[in-house]
Structure 1
């Protein structure tokens, strides 16, 4: 998935209202991240080119930690996304396929078909959400938050979204 997404131009309450109007659900971690004072939105509309890659696409055939993944992405010219990309991408990416149909579910791993936004970690607290991920479950679109520590090993087939640029429009 490679998309250019317009980000910004909405207050947090307007963005939340838009998510609700489109019947997009959030888990408690997504709500906590969204409500946090460090999650800021831009008054100015700008464009980001979002690029989805598997962990293995960045050379980690056995998996990687989030710090390892983010460092490697930076070395190849990819950037962390603004946190506000999560809600905006969720509003745009309405054709996300179901990921879990016929697949086992598990704990402490990214769900099948999920798309994690690579963004700056707001808190080292292991109980505070590290970012957003997108899912489609039984036809319902979700904007979810996730928890992981710096030692958690991501699976080689986990999908992350990085940014290639941020351009004011």
Structure 2
């Protein structure tokens, strides 16, 4: 699958927001929540190699929930991404395939062509966003946050960004 190198620049909240806006990247309310200082470390810097894998690539033969997927990510020699990686991945990856289905909400499943950025859980509360996903809807790039509980199952073709170790 695809591999990317992403550089976290340690931009301030205002500078990162301006960069996303000037790049035309859209945010939903959950993404805006995740970009709050209580969750997001704006000073984080560094270079990361990111790889995209599907739930099936991780060896699952049936849909799986996030705790099982994150366990398998580690068992397969990958690491979870820092939360701060997602906006920088979105800024650097402009050629994400366009979704076949442009519906953005109400699916209760990972949207078509979405890339979920695997990140450590921020809270056990199912109403606190779990992380970000990236999407290209009709040529508009999105950085979206999502909520789910531990029972939510991801289809075999759901894509996750992970860190090779």
* Both structures adopt the same fold (TM-score exceeding 0.5): yes
Alignment of 1:15-164 (within 5 A): 15-43=16-44, 45-101=45-101, 107-164=107-164
**What value does the CA root-mean-square deviation take over the aligned residues?**
1.7
Per-residue deviation at 1:57? 0.5
Per-residue deviation at 1:95? 0.6
Question: Would the aligned equivalents of 1:100 and 1:111 in 2 still touch at CA under 8 Å?
Answer: no
Q: Alpha-carbon deviations, 1:88-127, whole Å to 9, x = none?
A: 0000110111122499x86110000000000011111111
Match of 1:8 in 2: 9
Per-residue deviation at 1:12? 2.0
**Residues in 1 aligned to 2:116 and 2:84: alpha-carbon distance in whole angstroms:** 13
| TM-score normalised by the chain length of structure 2 | 0.92
Question: Would the aligned equivalents of 2:49 and 2:163 in 1 still touch at CA under 8 Å?
Answer: yes
Question: Would the aligned equivalents of 2:58 and 2:72 in 1 still touch at CA under 8 Å?
Answer: yes
Question: Would the aligned equivalents of 1:48 and 1:164 in 2 still touch at CA under 8 Å?
Answer: no
Question: Would the aligned equivalents of 1:6 and 1:47 in 2 still touch at CA under 8 Å?
Answer: yes
> May I ask how many residue pairs the two structures share in their alignment?
163
Per-residue deviation at 1:36? 4.7
Per-residue deviation at 1:140? 0.5
**Residues in 1 aligned to 2:102 and 2:91: alpha-carbon distance in whole angstroms:** 26
Q: Alpha-carbon deviations, 1:56-115, whole Å to 9, x = none?
A: 111112111101011011011100101011000000110111122499x86110000000
**Residues in 2 aligned to 1:7 and 1:129: alpha-carbon distance in whole angstroms:** 21
Question: Would the aligned equivalents of 1:29 and 1:146 in 2 still touch at CA under 8 Å?
Answer: yes
Q: Alpha-carbon deviations, 1:39-69, whole Å to 9, x = none?
A: 11235x3111101000011111211110101
Per-residue deviation at 1:162? 0.4
SS in 1 for 2:57: helix
Q: Which runs of 4+ in 1 moved over 4 A?
A: none
Per-residue deviation at 1:151? 1.1
